[in-house]
Amino acid sequence: MSVERRERLRRGSLAVLEICVVAGLYFGSAKMGLLQQLVRSQITPLWPPTGIALASLLLRGPRVWPGIALGAFLVNVTLGPTTLAVLAIASGNTLAPICSYVLLRRADFHVELDRLRDALALIFLGAFAGMLVSSTIGCGTLRLAGVLSPDDFWPAWSVWWTGDAMGVLVVAPVLLVLRSARLPRDVPPARWGEAMLLVAATVGIGLLETSRAPLLFLGFPLLIWAAFRFQLAGAAPCALAVSTFAIISATRASGPFAGHDLLTNMITLQAFNASAALTALLLAAAVTERNQIQVEIARACGQLADMVAKIATGDHHPMLPDGQGQEEEHGGRTAKPV
C-alpha cells in the first residue's frame, strides 16, 4: 500500500470516527434535554444538541454534518408521528446549525470568543437567526401532521426557537472553552481558592434557585464575578450551571415558577436564561478584549521605552558608517583638512 493511499485511508477513518462521535454526543445530549420538556415531547426550554452541533462545525469543519443528521434522525425516529415528519424535523435540526455556521464564518467569527463582536455574532447570528430554521420547520411539520393545533403553534414555536437558541448560547461556549482548556501553571494558591469559592457559591445559589424561594436573581452576581475574574473560562460554565438550576426549578414548579401557568413559566424561564447567557458572553468578551488591549499598550510602551533609552545613550544610528552620524549632526557638513 502506497503512502498516499495509506494517508487517505487514515483521513477517511478519522472522518468516520468524528461523525460517529458527533452523532453520539447529539443523541446523548438530546435524551438529557428531553428530560426537561415543557411542550409535548420534542420541545424543551434548553436543547443542548444545537450547541454541540454548532461547536462541532466550528471546531471540526462542515465535514461532520452527517453526524448531526444521524443524531437528529435517531432522536426523532421514536418521537415523530410519521416517517416523513421525522425526516423533515431531522432536516430542520441539521440545517439550523449549518446556517449558523455559515453566518458566523461570513462574520469572521473567532472560536476563542476574544472579541466583543464575536459574542454579538454568536448571539444574533448563531443563536437567534440560525435557529429560526429548526423551529419553523419543526413546528410547521407538527402542525401539518395534526399534532399541534392552530392555537398551540406559536407557543410551541417560541419555546422551540428559544430552546434551540439557548443551546447555542449556553452549551456551545462551554465546548469552545474546553477546546483550548489547559491546566494553568504557576497559579498562586489564592487564585485556586477563588475558583473553588466560585464553584461552591454557584452550587449554593443553585440549591436556593431550586427551593421554594424566588431567588433567581442571585445568579447574576456569580456571572459578573466569573466573567471579570476568569473571563469565558469561568463565565461559560457558570451560565450553564445557573440556567440548568433554573430549568430544574421550572420543571418542579418551585420558587418563582410556583402557581403560574405554562406560558408564564415559559416566558419567565426563557427570559432569565437569555439574560444570564447574554450577561456572561458579553461581559466575558468585553473583559477579554480589554485585557488584550492593555497587553498591546504595555508592549508598545516597552518598545517606546527601549527606543528612548537607545537615543539617550547615543545609539540612535546603529546602522550608519563611522563618521556619518557626526556629519548629519552638523547639518551634513564635514571639516576638510587644510
Domain boundaries, the chain: 1-180, 190-315
Do 127 and 100 contact (CB within 8 A), yes or no?
yes
From the number of C-beta atoms within 10 Å of its C-beta (0-12, 13-18, 19+), residue 254 rates as middle
* pLDDT > 90 fraction of the chain, expressed in percent and rounded: 53
When pLDDT is averaged across residues 182-206 and rounded to a whole number, the result is: 87
Q: What angle do CA 98, 19, 85 make, to 5 degrees?
A: 60
Residue 204 in grid coordinates: 449554593
Q: Are 200 and 80 in contact (CB under 8 A)?
A: no
Each residue of 248-293: pLDDT tens digit?
888 877 878 888 777 788 888 888 999 999 999 999 999 999 999 9
pLDDT greater than 90 at residue 21 = yes
Name the pTM for this structure.
0.84
Is residue 56 within 8 A of residue 64, CB to CB? The reply is yes
Q: By the 8 A CB rule, do 169 and 179 touch?
A: no
Residues 123, 128, 134, 138, CA torsion sign? positive
3-class state of residue 330 by DSSP: coil
Contact of 126 with 172, CB cutoff 8 Å: yes
Q: How many CA atoms lie within 13 A of 179 on its CB side?
A: 19
Q: Is 175 helix (H, G, I), strand (E, B) or coil?
A: helix
Reported residue count of the chain is: 338
- 1-180 architecture in CATH? Orthogonal Bundle (1.10)
Cα 330 to Cα 121: distance, rounded to the nearest angstrom = 58
The 3-state secondary structure of 246-276, one letter per residue: HHHHHHHCCHHHCCCCHHHHHHHHHHHHHHH
pLDDT tops 80 at residue 30: yes
Within a 10 A sphere around the Cβ of 219, how many other Cβ atoms? Answer: 26
CB-based burial, 67-99: b 16+ in 10 Å, e otherwise: bbbbbbbbbbeeebeeeebbbbbbbbbbbbbbb
Q: Is the pLDDT of residue 330 over 60?
A: no
- DSSP-based helix, strand, coil % in the chain, nearest 5: 75, 0, 20
DSSP-assigned letter for residue 213: S
Angle at 249 between CA 246 and CA 252, to 5 degrees: 150
- Per-residue pLDDT tens for 85-132? 999 999 999 999 999 999 999 999 999 898 999 999 999 999 999 999
Stretch 52-78: mean pLDDT: 94
